[in-house]
Chain A
Amino acid sequence: MSRKDSCSRVKEFLQRKWKYMTLQQKLTALFLLTAVIILAVNLYMFALINEMTVRVEEVYVSNVSLNDLSGALDRVQGSMEEYLNTKSSDAMEDYYRSEQAYRELMDRLNTQATDNKMLLTEKNIRGLSESYLGLAAEAIQAKRGRNVEKYGKLYEEASALYEEIHTFIYSLNNAQFKDNSRNYQVLLTSLRYMEFISIVVLLLVLLGNISLIVVSTRNVTRPLHRLAEAADEVSGGNFEIGQIPVESMDEVGIVTNTFNEMVENIRNYIEQLRETMERENQLKERELMMQSHLKDAQLKYLQAQINPHFLFNTLNAGVQLAMMEEAELTGRFLENVAEFFRYNVRKNDEDAALREEIHLVDNYVYILNVRFSGEILFSKDIDESLLDVRVPSMILQPLVENSFNYGIRNIDWRGRIELSVYQKENKICISIWDNGAGMEGERIEQVLSGYAGETESVSGSNGVGMKNVMQRLKLYFHNQAKLQIFSEGKDTGTEVLITIPGKSELQNRYQIV
């Protein structure tokens, strides 16, 4: 397997590990990593400085050991001289002891040929020392054998060699001292540099750690930022933000997942709500349409009640007959009656201008006056500007009929009916006043509440009574119309007042509709 492959596998493994670590574990790992790096670098620096300090301490050790060697050589020479002088066993013992000590020190010296001058000098010192110790031993031996001449000569040779060894040791000591001093200086300088280097290295490590922390924490907090931005969007009402990618399975990852689900759920809920509302609206609309149709039906039904087609056709025939017979009054009468009924037929399913309604009342009053020999005094006070106002058809005639039937029909004095149309406080008022029998308050309430309706049908009227007028007005003007009855009591006359919305109000409503 190639190195690249194994590297990528390790990288993948670490990424996977990192992905499934909790936030706490991640932060702890990051802290531990940076702390370990700082610790390792510090330990490394400490080890370096420590080693240098030890070196500084050991710089002159080689000089010390050479001094020891020199001292040991002196003791060998001294003890040999002492023995040769005194031949005492103490001196002998001393000699052997010092010789042993010297040999031990000698054994530390280099024995190999090398191109290092100091080591080579050590080798020479060792070789010379071997020769010296050989001469010294021979001299001691000769002394024992009392060979005066020989030990004297050997002593001289040994002494000369002793001096020479000293020279070698001294020279080596000097060379080493020079070298050590140089090293000492270098070490001291290095120690000073080391402080600077330590600071630089620590700063570098610190910078590295900071960048490591910045990069890692950015990795950790990036999903959090994204989540915050998304939450901000959602709080502003935008649910179309798409799924936030989940990079890790830590707490942020879990929250992001949950957030994604939550946004999705809210979106679904809103959609459902919208659909439900649409359905409700449709239902409401249908209900309203049904109501409207019902009203329409009711209206048509009511109008059907007063739809005398046959009579209208018959009267037209009568008019034609009267015209042929040149009976003008009869013809005019029949024409009025015919117009009266024609209006009924024509306006069966429509509303009408106030002008038309008033015309119908005129027709009706004419018919009545013909019937009852002109005993009805009918007068009008009309605001001409209101003649085009649309009202439900057949509302004035029944009221005039009522005024005649219940007001002035059975009175002893001459009956008067007054129709006035005027505008008051942005309302249109239509008043039908009579000076007839008048009404008790109780009776007025009964009529207005609709209880009086039952008697109307049997009273011989054409069927369109007060109740019908009231209902149609309310339907047409959406409860904005008002029908009032004013009477101060028996024989005081009655005023029926219809109040409908003013012209401007009506225009507004039509525009809305």
Chain B
Amino acid sequence: MIRKRTIVFAVELAFLLGCLIFFWQRFRELGRGEEGSYELYDRHYVMITGREDSDFWDRVYESAVAEGKKRGAYVERFGEDLAVEYRRNDLLKMAMQASVDGIIVPGDEEEETIAILQDIVEQGIPVVNVLQDSTGSIRQCFVGNNSYNLGQDYGNQILNLLAERENAAGTDGGTKEPARVLVLVDENRTDTSQNLILLGIRETLENAGENADSVSVETSPVDNSRGFSSEEAIRDIFLKAGKLPDILVCLSAVHTRCAYQAAVDYNKVGIVQMLGYYDSDAILEAVSKNILYSTIALDTEQMGRLCVQALDEYMETGYTNNYMAVDTQLITSEEAGRLVQER
């Protein structure tokens, strides 16, 4: 009897103490806001990207942050939460003035950019160009894919498409017109990567024996400078009746999404064969449904990781590789279906 009463008493006491301790802890955590749980790091790197292709850059950033945390460095998405949308070069300057420990930024060949990068490096802040290179600058490293190789990949896909087209024409017995390949290029991109891609495509086609009679490779500049302008420019292509390309090559995730959405909206799926870029869920879905013929994806995880590794290497040794290659992956319809299921 006494034992039972003691147990009840003890349980009540324990419950009470538990409640009190729980609420004490809870209220101690409350209202702390910025002083809440956080960790300190030795180095402060920043990553500056444009607002376009946010999905792609988000994945690169996640990988960079994860790698940084392992190495005692925190990677900040600089300027992201600011009330004003600054140009990349302004953000670069600000990062320099804020005395960060390292900068990851997609480069270009603009003089202004090269000058700013020069200033930054001179201030002792290492810079890694990611995806796009500023070859004229004294940045420490470029982390990205080999654009020429990428062009070759696209070229091979175009050849596949041309072969299928020829087979179809053969069975139809129709006249053979030169196939029209339209590559969407970013008007604002001043780096050489797009040119190298185009070169890769053209040389691959030529090497395969295609000439101007059988295939024409054209570019269509898309203006990214204003908000939503790229989407409008791509829709314009579909609206120009009679001038529809046979094959549309997209070199960015945004262009890819705009293009396949426009193809669906204007009922041009199958009429315009499209080659995409990047492997977001939506793009994979489109590939698996054969709206896109294929897509080429960069290994974003590797890209983010290599950026931080390059910065750390430079911080520790004063040297780093000038170029670090990121793997690309060609995703066809079958693979896309598998990937969609996996995710």
- What residues on B are CB-neighbors of A128 within 8 Å? 94, 97-98
Is B69 a contact of A115 with CB atoms below 8 Å? yes
Q: Does A119 count as interface, using CB distance less than 8 angstroms?
A: yes
Q: Does B15 count as interface, using CB distance less than 8 angstroms?
A: yes
- What residues on B are CB-neighbors of A119 within 8 Å? 34, 38
Q: In whole angstroms, what is the CA distance A197 to B15 when docked?
A: 13
Knowing A114-B74, A127-B98, A170-B83, the reply to whether A204 touches B39 (Cβ < 8 A) is: no
Interface bits A167-194 vs B (CB < 8 Å: 1, else 0): 1101100111001100100110010000
Is B9 a contact of A117 with CB atoms below 8 Å? no
Of the candidates B12, B20, B31, the one whose C-beta lies within 8 Å of that of A55 is: B31
- What residues on B are CB-neighbors of A132 within 8 Å? 97
Of the candidates B8, B41, B97, B99, the one whose C-beta lies within 8 Å of that of A114 is: B41
Of the candidates A44, A115, A123, A183, the one whose C-beta lies within 8 Å of that of B31 is: A183
Q: In whole angstroms, what is the CA distance A128 to B82 when docked?
A: 14
Question: Whole-angstrom distance from the CB of A213 to the nearest CB of chain B?
Answer: 12
Closest residue on chain A to residue B12 by CB atoms:
A208
Question: Whole-angstrom distance from the CB of A358 to the nearest CB of chain B?
Answer: 89
Q: Does B44 count as interface, using CB distance less than 8 angstroms?
A: yes
Q: Does B213 count as interface, using CB distance less than 8 angstroms?
A: no
Is B31 a contact of A120 with CB atoms below 8 Å? no
Closest residue on chain B to residue A197 by CB atoms:
B23
Of the candidates A55, A62, A167, A175, the one whose C-beta lies within 8 Å of that of B30 is: A55
Is B100 a contact of A174 with CB atoms below 8 Å? no
- What residues on B are CB-neighbors of A161 within 8 Å? 94, 97
Q: In whole angstroms, what is the CA distance A186 to B27 when docked?
A: 10
Q: Does B5 count as interface, using CB distance less than 8 angstroms?
A: yes
Closest residue on chain B to residue A173 by CB atoms:
B83
Interface bits A148-181 vs B (CB < 8 Å: 1, else 0): 0000000000000100100110110011100110
Interface bits B52-82 vs A (CB < 8 Å: 1, else 0): 0000000000000000010001101010011
Q: Does B282 count as interface, using CB distance less than 8 angstroms?
A: no
Is B44 a contact of A113 with CB atoms below 8 Å? yes
Q: In whole angstroms, what is the CA distance A44 to B36 when docked?
A: 23
Q: In whole angstroms, what is the CA distance A66 to B168 when docked?
A: 68
Count, A-B residue pairs, CB within 8 A: 125
- What residues on A are CB-neighbors of B30 within 8 Å? 52, 55, 183, 186-187, 190
- What residues on B are CB-neighbors of A101 within 8 Å? none
Knowing A55-B31, A59-B31, the reply to whether A115 touches B41 (Cβ < 8 A) is: yes
Is A113 a contact of B101 with CB atoms below 8 Å? yes
| Size of the chain A interface, CB-CB below 8 angstroms | 53
- What residues on B are CB-neighbors of A204 within 8 Å? 12, 15-16, 19
Is A127 a contact of B82 with CB atoms below 8 Å? no
Knowing A113-B43, A113-B74, the reply to whether A179 touches B83 (Cβ < 8 A) is: no
- What residues on B are CB-neighbors of A170 within 8 Å? 83
8 A Cβ contacts from A75-117 to B: 112-117
Is A215 a contact of B5 with CB atoms below 8 Å? yes
Knowing A119-B34, A186-B31, A190-B27, the reply to whether A175 touches B99 (Cβ < 8 A) is: no
- What residues on A are CB-neighbors of B83 within 8 Å? 167, 170-171, 174
Q: In whole angstroms, what is the CA distance A168 to B82 when docked?
A: 6
Of the candidates B23, B39, B98, the one whose C-beta lies within 8 Å of that of A48 is: B23
Closest residue on chain B to residue A211 by CB atoms:
B9
Q: Does B33 count as interface, using CB distance less than 8 angstroms?
A: yes
- What residues on A are CB-neighbors of B74 within 8 Å? 113-115, 120
Q: In whole angstroms, what is the CA distance A55 to B74 when docked?
A: 30
Of the candidates A51, A176, A207, the one whose C-beta lies within 8 Å of that of B33 is: A176
Is B97 a contact of A118 with CB atoms below 8 Å? no
Q: Does B169 count as interface, using CB distance less than 8 angstroms?
A: no
Q: Does B42 count as interface, using CB distance less than 8 angstroms?
A: yes
Question: Whole-angstrom distance from the CB of A3 to the nearest CB of chain B?
Answer: 17
Knowing A113-B42, A127-B99, A128-B97, the reply to whether A120 touches B34 (Cβ < 8 A) is: no
Of the candidates B34, B82, B90, B99, the one whose C-beta lies within 8 Å of that of A118 is: B34
Of the candidates A52, A124, A208, A212, the one whose C-beta lies within 8 Å of that of B98 is: A124
Q: Does B241 count as interface, using CB distance less than 8 angstroms?
A: no
8 A Cβ contacts from A34-66 to B: 41, 44, 48, 51-52, 55-56, 58-59, 62
Q: In whole angstroms, what is the CA distance A52 to B8 when docked?
A: 32
Q: Does A201 count as interface, using CB distance less than 8 angstroms?
A: yes
- What residues on A are CB-neighbors of B43 within 8 Å? 113
Q: In whole angstroms, what is the CA distance A204 to B34 when docked?
A: 36
Q: In whole angstroms, what is the CA distance A52 to B13 when docked?
A: 25
Of the candidates B34, B40, B81, the one whose C-beta lies within 8 Å of that of A62 is: B34
Closest residue on chain A to residue B2 by CB atoms:
A215
Q: In whole angstroms, what is the CA distance A150 to B48 when docked?
A: 30
Q: In whole angstroms, what is the CA distance A354 to B207 when docked?
A: 178
Of the candidates A48, A117, A127, the one whose C-beta lies within 8 Å of that of B100 is: A127
Is B40 a contact of A114 with CB atoms below 8 Å? yes
Q: Does A205 count as interface, using CB distance less than 8 angstroms?
A: yes
Which of B16, B74, B98 is most buried by chain A, counting CB atoms within 10 A of its CB?
A: B98
Q: In whole angstroms, what is the CA distance A119 to B99 when docked?
A: 15
Q: In whole angstroms, what is the CA distance A123 to B43 when docked?
A: 12
8 A Cβ contacts from B296-333 to A: none
Given A114-B40, A128-B98, A190-B30; 16 other pairs, CB 8 A cutoff: A48-B24, A62-B33, A121-B81, A123-B98, A124-B100, A127-B100, A176-B33, A179-B33, A180-B33, A183-B30, A190-B26, A204-B15, A205-B16, A208-B12, A211-B8, A215-B5
9 CB contacts below 8 A, A to B, read A113-B43, A114-B38, A115-B38, A118-B33, A120-B76, A125-B98, A171-B81, A186-B31, A212-B9
A-B complex: 10 closest residue pairs judged by Cβ atoms: A127-B98, A113-B44, A131-B97, A116-B38, A55-B31, A113-B41, A127-B99, A118-B34, A124-B98, A179-B33
